């Protein structure tokens, strides 16, 4: 029996592949490579020494998905496939709803047809929108403020209805906060297409000289130093959270939602300082206007995941910065870089 990972060639999915293989699972990966590279699967095979069964397909293709389920004995699905750029979702909402929501509906229909009723779903703290206060608990009412966040919230509601229609379904919804960092080998990591949107890949590209300067989006927020505060979590900790969620999904039924965050918030300036301390590389920056749609502070109350999954983040901000930098400096052009040797 195997675990299907949709979006398994992506940033988080590839780290989940490593974690599950180390835990002894057989895995199958489907990915349309719309935001990733086949090289990431090869790197996972290099790290783990295990061959991965990979299908380059779109989850919107029911026929292709059914072929995967026909050819493999799948017992659960970790569903990471999805588009995740907030700004793009505002410009192209229908593309986001079709890819994320319709894609999940088609995946769920195929799972139902093959009697596979266990799923771990990649949701996002973006479902909370502008939190009334922090830290954020799972009981807070979702109030997403962009199509991307709404797509994640809609999927959560669809999956809850799926369980109400048949209580054999066992579904774990994981609301990730801000994943950063990379596997300690420096062989897999975040490889954004074009100019990154997110803070850490921009910091590492400034450090590598690919970008000249970091723009700090505003310093007038009601925070420790006026810059935005976020809950950065090491992608390896996030991957371990999926292993714990999978185990929980096997041993129960119903739908549960968990925040995956550290519970600690760091401002933009604090992250810059942490990166400079961890790597010895200076990050030039300038304060610019706030980014529309940004919230002042967003960080998790991680208590429910600790109690319900027996999971907590282990890596601190220093490891997140060191590991992000090792990936960037080993792979200046991401997966298009020349072969990197193992450094773990």
Active-site amino acid positions: 148
List of residues contacting ligand NAD (CB under 6 A): 7, 9-13, 31-36, 58-60, 80-84, 99, 103, 122, 124, 176, 178-179
Binding partner of residue 215 among ligand NAD, ligand WQD, none, CB cut-off 5 to 8 Å per kind = ligand WQD
Binding partner of residue 228 among ligand NAD, ligand WQD, none, CB cut-off 5 to 8 Å per kind = ligand WQD
* Nearest distance from C-beta of residue 320 to ligand WQD, angstroms: 12
Q: State which residue, 124 or 330, has the beta carbon closest to ligand NAD.
A: 124
DSSP H/E element including 91 = helix 86-91
Q: Is 198 in the site for ligand WQD (CB under 6 A)?
A: yes
Among 104, 178, 205, 249, binds ligand WQD (CB under 6 A): 178
Binding partner of residue 47 among ligand WQD, ligand NAD, none, CB cut-off 5 to 8 Å per kind = none
Among 109, 282, 291, 318, binds ligand WQD (CB under 6 A): 291
> Could you give the CA distance from residue 141 to residue 162 in angstroms, rounded to a whole number?
20
DSSP strand pairing (178-180 vs 297-298): unpaired
For the four alpha carbons of 54, 59, 63 and 67, in that order, the dihedral sign comes to positive
Locus of tokens 């797509």: 151
Phi then psi for residue 260, to 5 deg, are -115, 95
Locus of tokens 């992608």: 235
Contact by Cβ (8 Å): 343, 328: no
The site string for ligand WQD over 313-342 (x = CB under 6 A, - otherwise) reads ------------------------------
Length of the chain: 344
Q: Is 199 in the site for ligand WQD (CB under 6 A)?
A: yes
* Nearest distance from C-beta of residue 1 to ligand WQD, angstroms: 30
* Nearest distance from C-beta of residue 174 to ligand WQD, angstroms: 11
Q: State which residue, 7 or 186, has the beta carbon closest to ligand NAD.
A: 7
Q: Is 215 in the site for ligand WQD (CB under 6 A)?
A: yes
> Could you give the CA distance from residue 204 to residue 214 in angstroms, rounded to a whole number?
10
Q: Judging by beta carbons within 10 Å of its beta carbon (0-12, 13-18, 19+), is residue 98 exposed, middle or buried?
A: middle
Binding partner of residue 187 among ligand NAD, ligand WQD, none, CB cut-off 5 to 8 Å per kind = none
SS3 50: coil
Closest CB to ligand NAD belongs to which residue?
10
For the chain, helix (H) and strand (E) counts, in that order, are 12, 14
Q: Is 211 in the site for ligand WQD (CB under 6 A)?
A: no
Q: Is 207 in the site for ligand WQD (CB under 6 A)?
A: no
> Could you give the CA distance from residue 16 to residue 18 in angstroms, rounded to a whole number?
5
The site string for ligand WQD over 73-112 (x = CB under 6 A, - otherwise) reads -----------x-x--------------------------
Closest to 46 measured CA to CA, from 328, 336, 342: 342
Distances (CA, A) of 59 to 100, 108, 113, 207, 344: 9, 10, 15, 36, 34
Contact by Cβ (8 Å): 272, 266: no
Contact by Cβ (8 Å): 238, 179: yes
Q: What does the binding site for ligand WQD look like in residue numbers (CB under 6 A)?
A: 84, 86, 124, 126, 178, 197-199, 202, 214-217, 228, 230, 268, 291, 294
């Amino acid at each position: 029996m195997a675990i299907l990972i949709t979006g398994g060639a992506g940033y988080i999915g590839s780290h989940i592949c490593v974690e599950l293989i180390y835990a002894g699972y057989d895995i199958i990966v489907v990915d349309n490579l719309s935001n990733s590279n086949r090289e990431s699967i090869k790197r996972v095979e290099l790290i783990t020494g295990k061959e991965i069964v990979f299908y380059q397909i779109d989850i919107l293709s029911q026929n292709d998905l059914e072929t995967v389920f026909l050819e493999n004995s799948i017992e659960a699905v970790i569903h990471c496939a999805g588009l995740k750029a907030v700004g793009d979702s505002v410009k192209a909402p229908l593309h986001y709803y079709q890819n994320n929501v319709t894609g999940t509906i088609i995946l769920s229909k195929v799972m139902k047809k093959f009697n596979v009723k266990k799923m771990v779903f990649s949701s996002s703290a973006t479902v909370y929108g502008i939190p009334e206060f922090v830290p954020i608990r799972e009981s807070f009412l979702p109030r997403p403020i962009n199509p991307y966040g709404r797509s994640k919230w809609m999927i959560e509601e669809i999956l809850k209805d799926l369980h109400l229609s048949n209580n054999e379904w066992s579904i774990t919804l994981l609301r990730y906060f801000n994943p950063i960092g990379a596997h300690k080998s420096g062989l897999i990591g975040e490889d954004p297409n074009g100019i990154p949107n997110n803070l850490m890949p921009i910091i590492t590209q400034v450090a590598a000289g690919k970008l000249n300067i970091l723009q700090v989006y505003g310093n007038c927020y009601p925070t420790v130093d006026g810059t935005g505060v976020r809950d950065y979590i090491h992608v390896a900790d996030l991957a371990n959270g999926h292993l714990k969620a999978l185990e929980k999904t096997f041993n129960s039924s119903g739908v549960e939602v968990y925040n995956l965050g550290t519970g600690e918030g760091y401002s933009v300036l604090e992250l810059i300082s942490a990166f400079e301390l961890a790597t010895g590389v200076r990050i030039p920056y300038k304060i610019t206007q706030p980014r529309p749609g940004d919230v002042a502070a967003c960080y998790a109350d991680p208590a429910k995941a600790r109690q319900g999954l027996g999971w907590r983040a282990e890596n601190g901000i220093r490891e997140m910065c060191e590991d992000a930098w090792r990936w960037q400096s080993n792979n200046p052009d991401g997966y298009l870089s020349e072969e990197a040797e193992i450094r773990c």
